[in-house]
Chains A and B, each alone.
Chain A
Amino acid sequence: MTPHPHDQREASGITPDIAWTTPPVGGTDLGRIAAAWLMLVVGLTLAGAAVVAWWESSRFGVADADVNRWFERRRTETWTSVAEFASAFSDTRTVVVVGVVTLPLFLWLLRRWNDYAFVFGGLVLEVTSFVVVSMLVGRARPPVEQLDGAPTNSFPSGHIAASVVLYSGLMLVVYAQTRRRGPRVAATVIGVGVPAAVIASRLYLGMHYPTDAIAGVALGVVVLVVMWHVVLIGDVDDDVPDDNVTPQLADVAR
């Protein structure tokens, strides 16, 4: 594998203060992303078609819907507002606004495209493949009352896929840039906790079967794996040696 342009400039001693003019991906990378997109769409569409054709009418399919009914029986006003709140962290609007607003901030503060491209490029890959698969598979929503509106179909869950790419992706950015325990723990709480909350909320709201949720997680994870290999987000400078003291709350709070 040829060194990434970003590495080449580091190696050649060019100061990285113009690193943001270096695009995070080159021509071959775009080809790999396109190949990944195609494989994602074909793979998920086949899986979705199999679910609609064989799974839904089987007793597994009944169990699938039973999970939604279980949630429906437990609906209360409070839990509904909690679920709507959790689900909103992965709404298209939220993701779009966060993506647009943080672009200049990522460029200014990290002085390169890579971290932004990793997360938000991943979201573009996710949303484009999701829309096509959802349309091709055309799975109907679960047989319970839907508490949220959506223009797409049930398989896979776009909310869940987006939450994995965005929040677990940001977690990976933190992991790639520091070995310090405090930031890593905080990142893990968010990177695992938010997608988990989104999964629970989408099932509760009757928007998705558990199989849609699994497909959504799979889509998100595959996108992150692809982006991880295409866009380098490794440590620009790992300032903290392994033996460094982890910041303790007592120190910080004084």
Chain B
Amino acid sequence: MTSSPVPTVRPSTDDRWWVRTWPLGRDEIVSLTIKLALVIAVGIVVGTLLTEWSVFGGVREFDRRTAEAFVDARTSTWDEFAHWGAFLSSTPVKIVLTAIVVVLLIRRFRSWYDAVLIGLPLVFEATAYLVTSIVVGRPRPDVPRLEDSPVDTTFPSGHVAAATVYVAFAVVVFRHTDRIAARVAAVVATVSVPLIVGLARVYQGMHYVSDVVAGVVLGAVSLAIAVRALRRPSVDEASECTPDPTQPELVGAGTTASERER
């Protein structure tokens, strides 16, 4: 970076937490934008090859056969389960859940970090999904579909990508607690969501299996990029994630005692 004599960034010792803890500077945003473009480019290439190239004929054949097998296996009970399953990742649920969680996290920890950790991968994933699916334009499976969708394209699965991003909840839990029960519960819950959603969407004839796999990859990549991009709260940035001092500390919550003393 340039060695400007005047710091362009506010010192991290600012006593206003909403200034001190904002984890996205100009560098981070530029880097995220470049990575977003790269992810979209890779998605478009993979999606187009998968849809058009004869080498992947086997994959398309497998997709087609699994889609039909799921149609043959349909029962009214499973229809209902699939409806609920896919619903875990529907847009209103995603928006409301994320908004509530973000507000609760900000309130408790007086820090943007966890909130951005939840929100950023979702925005990243949604943007990449939108552009990729429009450009690739793969038609949905040619089977009776159990859901209406305003989107006609199937690669990748936006539902599954968004469901995978729920794993960010587990990342936040890991940052703040050592309790095995809490960690196991967080991992089991957030990992099972994309599996349930993916299975449900294939069952409903909304996506091929390869779309679901691509959705998982997109979600995981978005999450990994976002986690790496955020300026991690460090020892130098005075105990960024110390919980609200008037509220009691969780066991092993986020910061060490030495950090808290600063």
Seen from chain A, the residues whose Cβ lies within 8 Å of a Cβ on chain B are 15-17, 81, 85, 88-89, 91, 93-94, 97-98, 101-102, 104-106, 108-111, 170, 174, 177, 183, 190, 236-237, 239, 245, 247, 251-254
Contact = CB atoms under 8 A, between A and B. Distances in A.
Contacts of B244: 237, 239
A63 B143 CA distance: 45
B107 A94 contact: no
Interface string B177-217: 00000100100000000000000000000000000000000
A89 B96 contact: yes
B37 interface: no
A85 B95 CA distance: 12
B58 interface: no
26 contacts: A15-B248, A17-B249, A81-B150, A85-B91, A85-B92, A88-B92, A89-B92, A93-B84, A93-B87, A94-B87, A97-B88, A97-B93, A98-B96, A105-B100, A105-B101, A105-B104, A109-B104, A109-B105, A236-B247, A237-B244, A239-B246, A247-B19, A251-B18, A253-B22, A254-B9, A254-B22
Contacts of A190: 99
A190 B99 CA distance: 10
Contacts of B108: 109-110
A89 B25 CA distance: 33
Nearest to B193: A101
A132 B100 CA distance: 30
A86 B250 CA distance: 38
Given A88-B92, A97-B93, A111 B18 contact: no
B10 interface: yes
Given A81-B150, A108-B250, 19 more contacts: A17-B247, A17-B249, A85-B92, A88-B92, A94-B92, A97-B88, A97-B93, A98-B93, A102-B104, A109-B108, A110-B104, A110-B108, A111-B248, A170-B100, A174-B103, A236-B247, A237-B246, A237-B247, A247-B19
Contacts of A245: 16
Given A81-B150, A97-B88, A254-B22, A111 B96 contact: no
Interface residues of B, number: 34
B26 to A, nearest CB: 8
A98 B9 contact: no
Given A15-B248, A236-B247, A97 B87 contact: yes
A253 B22 CA distance: 8
Contacts of B105: 109
Nearest to A106: B104
A99 B97 CA distance: 9
Interface in B75-100: 84, 87-88, 90-93, 95-97, 99-100
Contacts of A15: 248
